[in-house]
Amino acid sequence: MIKAVDPRHIAVDLLGDVLDEHRLLSEALPKRLAKVSPEDRARAQRLTLLALRNMDRSDRMLGPHLKKRPPARILNILRLGVAELCTGGAAHGVVNELVGVARANRETERLAGLVNAVLRKITDEAEKWGGLPVPRLPKWLRKPLIADYGKAQVEEIEALQAQTPPLDLTAKGSPEELAKRLGGVLLPTGSVRLQDAGQVTGLDGYDGGDWWVQDASAALPAKILAPQTGDRVLDMCAAPGGKTMQLAAMGADVTALDVSEVRMKRVAENLTRTGLSAEMVVGDALEFDVPQFDAILLDAPCSATGTIRRHPDLPHAKDGSEFPGLFELQEYMIDRALGLLKSGGRLVFCTCSLLIDEGEEQVRDALGRHPDVQVDLDALRLPGIEVSWFGPEGLRIMPNYRADLGGMDGFFITALRKA
């Protein structure tokens, strides 16, 4: 019998959390991986993401071999098996271990033979995989994105999201030196990109705190804020801490604020590992009332629709019903941030979203509410940022930008200056 700590067993459990319980992986992972070794944890996550990223293709491969829809757990076992077998997994090991996963559960052991038979048939048909269409975004998200950006660009985004993304790092010191040391590529915006990085904690410089994981798009807001040494800066939604560390490394006097005590523990761990410091405050940003900051970074809670290339669980765990509440929360948070700024202070507002309502529309509305605030487009003109990314309200970064290098997370970023 396969033990529950087996990475494939954990991956099937995680697929159930996402596809059947509609939970985000970030919510499910702590429970599932609490007592798992770093190596098995990394492998379980990799397998789960592989299955989610390719679920549409797997279902197409399975269709001819299933007379009726099997129980949810069996279907998830099969989806994982198809994704592995059709992307180079060793047939003998994949099939045998997934049959064992089925046998390890009383509700699915009677269908272990089905798992064995179907996956062995898939092994003989793996060459069909390359001819299957690229998985599409769900209709609730695809329709508004096509309305905003056109079908051609959405299809480019979908093609990129079907690929395993590279790993981006932000260097505490010289990014050029870090790229050379790790054999990475130095991106035009200063992030270091690694292909097939493997286990993050095993990379050179992790224990020494020389860098932290941060998508190239997510590294831009702090660079745009560009605090001077000694500036009082508020990182308004700080967890997991990438931007806090950037601001601290720039010499700012940083206050890191976040409502989640659990997530703030991660910020503290990251600061300790990198040898950086910030004042830590656990609390609601809308109730925080310590004014007169020189600058504020507000990476607001949002739909996270720009991060699906890294988080393929999102389209399955969400359905868009929570979006109006997020839009309203962002309005309140922008107003609160502007109220905490000194005269002449600057606010960088950003969301990892592809939705206009969480970017350009928020800025237009904020300018209407605050006649003493202006967009500072000059602050956005950093090395590596393309002219085509600019709009009147700020930067719109799409996942298919720099697709030849592996793309970027979708982001909206703007800089607002208080008169």
- Which positions are catalytic? 352
Asked whether 81 and 94 are in contact (CB, 8 A), the reply is yes
Cα angle: 369, vertex 375, 377; to 5 degrees: 170
Task: State the DSSP string of 332-380.
Answer: HHHHHHHHTEEEEEEEEEEES---GGGTHHHHHHHHHH-TTEEE-GGGG
CA max distance for the chain: 71
d(CA 152, CA 90): 36
d(CA 319, CA 141): 8
For residue 351, give the nearest of 325, 327, 375 by alpha carbon: 327
Torsional sign, CA 15, 21, 27, 31: negative
Single-letter residue type at 42: A
User: What's the DSSP call for residue 403?
Assistant: G
For residue 299, give the nearest of 251, 357, 347 by alpha carbon: 347
Asked whether 185 and 192 are in contact (CB, 8 A), the reply is yes
d(CA 381, CA 415): 11
Asked whether 267 and 241 are in contact (CB, 8 A), the reply is yes
d(CA 309, CA 293): 35
Query: What count of Cα atoms within 13 Å lies in the side-chain half-sphere of residue 356?
Result: 10
Enumerate helices (H) and strands (E) in the chain, giving the number of each. 16, 13
